[in-house]
């Protein structure tokens, strides 16, 4: 089970070769007083628990992503003005993307956070306007998708690129294996050079 409404996570998870069903979790995502790694793991855990409560026999995974710039946490923008403000703040600078993942299985819980450094290019105001007009920023932490080919906001990604997209596949695979789920090594191009890569057979 995947406790997420994110289409990016739904697109990434098949790389682990695990049959899954998507059930979005409706939770209170407050908790800004926590540091980003703790908050991301807590939100991922609460999403997974919300779904596991109704599906106790299933293994449930949850995830949450937070962008951090100068110690300030950026979630999903509420409107175009907030999206523009986020993108302008990130422009030409390095920030960190923190994605927490959680796995709930047989009453046991496991969580882990993955932090990745992302440096943005110096995109123009017109590019930001076009990106916002396409409606892209509003369901994304920090208002951007690193994989967006048209906007192409980032120049470098130091760490797990899949975590920036929304689901650190190697980390999730390890948590699933620990929970007794046979998950395959992800063969996506973004995963081949991942610093969290751990080769080996499933099971």
Which of 46, 51, 95 has the alpha carbon at shortest distance from 74?
Answer: 95
57's tokens: 């026999």
Cα–Cα distance for residue pair 149/73, rounded to 1 Å: 25
Residues taking part in catalysis: 64
The ranges assigned to domains in the chain are 2-190
pLDDT at residue 173, rounded to an integer: 96
Cα–Cα distance for residue pair 15/17, rounded to 1 Å: 5
Is domain 2-190 annotated with CATH 3.20.20.70? no
Q: In the chain, what's the furthest Cα-to-Cα distance?
A: 51
User: What pTM did the predictor assign?
Assistant: 0.91
In whole angstroms, what separates CA 65 from the centre of its chain? 4
pLDDT at residue 13, rounded to an integer: 94
List, as own/partner pairs, every contact residues 123-132 make where C-beta atoms lie below 8 angstroms and the sequence separation is at least 24, other chains included: 123/87, 123/91, 123/151, 123/153, 127/151, 128/84, 128/87, 128/88, 128/91, 129/84, 131/87, 132/80, 132/83, 132/84, 132/87
Count the neighbouring beta carbons within 10 Å of the beta carbon of residue 38. Answer: 15
10's tokens: 């739904």
pLDDT in tens, the chain (203 residues): 888 888 999 999 999 999 999 998 878 776 656 899 999 999 999 999 999 999 998 999 999 999 999 999 999 999 999 999 999 999 999 999 999 999 999 989 999 999 999 999 999 999 999 999 999 999 999 999 999 999 999 999 999 999 999 999 999 999 999 999 999 999 898 888 899 998 644 44
Radius of gyration of the chain (CA): 17
Residue 54, beta-bridge partner list: none
């Amino acid at each position: 089970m995947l406790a997420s409404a994110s289409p990016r996570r739904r697109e990434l998870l098949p790389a682990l070769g695990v049959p899954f069903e998507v059930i979005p979790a409706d939770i209170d995502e407050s908790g800004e007083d926590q540091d980003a790694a703790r908050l991301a793991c807590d939100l991922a855990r609460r999403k997974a628990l919300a779904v596991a409560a109704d599906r106790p026999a299933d293994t449930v995974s949850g995830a949450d992503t937070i962008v951090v710039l100068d110690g300030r946490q950026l979630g999903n923008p509420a409107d175009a003005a907030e999206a523009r403000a986020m993108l302008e703040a990130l422009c030409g600078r390095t920030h960190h993307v923190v994605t927490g993942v959680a796995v709930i299985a047989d009453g046991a819980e496991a969580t882990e956070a993955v932090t990745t450094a992302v440096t943005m290019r110096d995109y123009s105001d017109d590019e930001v306007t076009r990106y916002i007009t396409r409606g892209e920023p509003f369901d994304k932490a920090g208002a951007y998708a690193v994989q967006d080919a048209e906007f192409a906001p980032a120049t470098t990604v130091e760490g797990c690129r899949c975590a920036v997209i929304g689901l650190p596949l190697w980390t999730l695979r390890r948590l699933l294996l620990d929970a007794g789920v046979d998950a395959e090594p992800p063969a996506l191009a973004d995963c081949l050079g991942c610093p969290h890569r751990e080769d080996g057979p499933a099971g």
